[in-house]
């Protein structure tokens, strides 16, 4: 498998990503590599910074069966997966929020509850360079916001309350140590 995933403590995870000027073959290859590494890590999303790159791009493959509403219907019918989101931007979000546990491939074994808008509208370029606008709810909305955070250097740890931080102090310290050893 190509390239390890950058673990919490690696400074690249705090960087602000740079917009992609043109969606080239190289960018498509980067999207494919992100997907490969994401699948190997059994994740549903991965941002470029997590493999040490600063292009504004993330990929998602949110399984439809894991993204259903209380009535058991798909939250986002007709949305194709996997997808690459290039230069993504949230252009609308619901006032209604939802709280759910999130994990992150850069924080192995850490799961913390995060409150986010329940629905978002995201505008982005697809892998062909076409502008797309997507209305997302449920797990997809959450995953989009989580990955977009990565592109702005915002991490799961930033959503922790002082109490959860204290609870997970040892785990976080070990991750930082681990990330120093990889380099």
The two three-digit tokens of residue 89, written as one number: 């931007």
13 lies in the site for Ni ion, by CB under 5 A: no
Cβ-closest residue to Ni ion? 104
Minimum CB separation of residue 150 from Ni ion in Å reads 6
Annotated active-site residue 101? The verdict is no
For residues 48 and 34, the answer to whether their CB atoms sit within 8 Å is yes
Phi-psi region of 59 (alpha: psi -120 to 50; beta: other; left: phi over 0): beta
How many residues touch Ni ion under the rule CB under 5 A: the total is 1
- The one catalytic residue in 49, 55, 119, 147 is 147
Instruction: State which residue, 74 or 178, has the beta carbon closest to Ni ion.
Output: 178
For 62-71, give one letter per residue: b (16+ CB within 10 A) or e.
beeeebeeee
The footprint of Ni ion on residues 90-129 (CB under 5 A) is 104
The two three-digit tokens of residue 119, written as one number: 């629905």
Instruction: State which residue, 76 or 145, has the beta carbon closest to Ni ion.
Output: 145
C-alpha span between 89 and 144 (Å, rounded): 10
Minimum CB separation of residue 69 from Ni ion in Å reads 24
- What residues line the site for Ni ion (CB under 5 A)? 104
- Residues carrying an active site annotation: 147
């Amino acid at each position: 498998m190509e390239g390890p995933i950058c673990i919490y403590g690696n400074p690249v995870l705090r960087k602000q990503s740079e917009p992609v000027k043109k969606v080239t073959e190289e960018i498509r290859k980067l999207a494919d590599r992100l997907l490969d590494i994401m699948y190997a890590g059994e994740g549903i999303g991965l941002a470029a910074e997590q493999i040490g790159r600063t292009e504004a791009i993330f990929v998602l493959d949110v399984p439809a069966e894991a993204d259903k509403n209380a009535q058991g219907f798909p939250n986002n019918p007709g949305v194709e997966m996997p997808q690459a989101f290039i230069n993504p931007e949230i252009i609308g979000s619901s006032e209604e929020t939802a709280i759910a546990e999130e994990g992150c491939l850069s924080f192995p074994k850490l799961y913390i509850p995060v409150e986010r808008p329940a629905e978002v509208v995201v505008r982005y370029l697809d892998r062909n360079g076409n502008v797309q606008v997507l209305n997302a709810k449920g797990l997809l909305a959450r995953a989009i916001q989580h990955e977009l955070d990565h592109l702005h250097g915002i991490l799961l740890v930033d959503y922790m309350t002082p109490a959860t931080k204290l609870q997970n102090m040892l785990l976080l310290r070990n991750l930082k140590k681990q990330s120093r050893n990889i380099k």
